[in-house]
Amino acid sequence: MDTLECIKSRRSIRKFTEETVPRKDLEELIEVARWSPSYKNSQPWEAIILSGARKKELSKMLVGLLEAGAPNSPDLAAPTSWPEAEDRRIKHLLARRKELTGIDLAAPEMIIKAKKANFNFYYAPHAIYLYQDASLSEWSLFDIGIFAQSLMLAAHAKGLATVPQAFATDYAKEVKESLGIPSSKRLILGFSVGYPDMESPVNGYRTERSEINEFCRWLE
């Protein structure tokens, strides 16, 4: 797949087939992503890939914590406010998604449903967590973000699908304990990984992007 087309056509997928991905293909995603650039080649990323019973076990634990009303405690706190432009885009997304899918993420019961879907990794056959040492600076958050993008693009190029999930880090302490990740690490992001089910209506909606002239200026 052409690189430019790969970047433009990638999308977040929330319904997957049951077909498992060969381990060699999952390994190739990490092999490609490891070539991502980073500050002074610090490579501040670590990954763990879950499949089968181990993934189901983690999902059961996360859903159980949610149903028990356990307070979430992600290592990266969720934003509490947004600047005007970003806030406008978010509200547009929520309104558009409600219009097309009937999903109202402003409704508390829908948030619970969305979290359960996240905790089950949308029933994809595989999940990936990215984490790094908690003492690292904000530059390293930037770097692991590049790694995450490389991973998603590599998956798309191979005919696989992903969706990055902040909700998957809601119970960071418990996830790290369950997966044997040291408490000195910070959990950054979770992913669902598998083959996309493009016949599902949930995958029919793709988010929009701002026009170039809204965020880019030319000076000559």
The angle, 0 to 180 degrees and rounded to 10, between the axes of the packed helices 23-33 and 138-157 is 140
Residue with tokens 């991502």: 36
pLDDT at 140: 98
Strand order across the 185-194 sheet: 46-51, 126-133, 185-194, 161-165
Condensed to tens digits (0 to 9), the pLDDT of residues 29-38 reads 999 999 999 9
| 194 inside domain | yes
| 109 inside domain | no
The residues pairing with 50 across neighbouring beta strands, listed in sequence order, are 127
How far apart (Å, rounded) are the C-alpha atoms in residues 130 and 187? Answer: 6
pLDDT at 96: 81
| 19 inside domain | yes
Q: What is the CATH number of the domain that holds 146?
A: 3.40.109.10
| 5 inside domain | no
Instruction: Write the CB contacts of 87 (distance below 8 Å, at least 6 apart in sequence).
Output: 81
| 1 inside domain | no
Phi (first) and psi of residue 52, to 5 degrees: 55, -140
Question: What residue numbers bound the domain in which 153 lies?
Answer: 12-64+119-205
pLDDT at 98: 77
- Using CB atoms within 10 Å of the CB of residue 149, give its burial: 0 to 12 exposed, 13 to 18 middle, 19+ buried: middle
| 192 inside domain | yes
pLDDT at 118: 94
pLDDT at 155: 98
Condensed to tens digits (0 to 9), the pLDDT of residues 99-150 reads 777 777 778 888 898 899 999 999 999 999 999 999 999 999 999 999 999 9
**How many domains in the chain?**
1
Q: Which residues of the chain have pLDDT under 70?
A: none
pLDDT at 119: 97
| 146 inside domain | yes
pLDDT at 28: 97
pLDDT at 92: 87
pTM of the prediction? 0.94
How far apart (Å, rounded) are the C-alpha atoms in residues 199 and 213? Answer: 34
| 71 inside domain | no
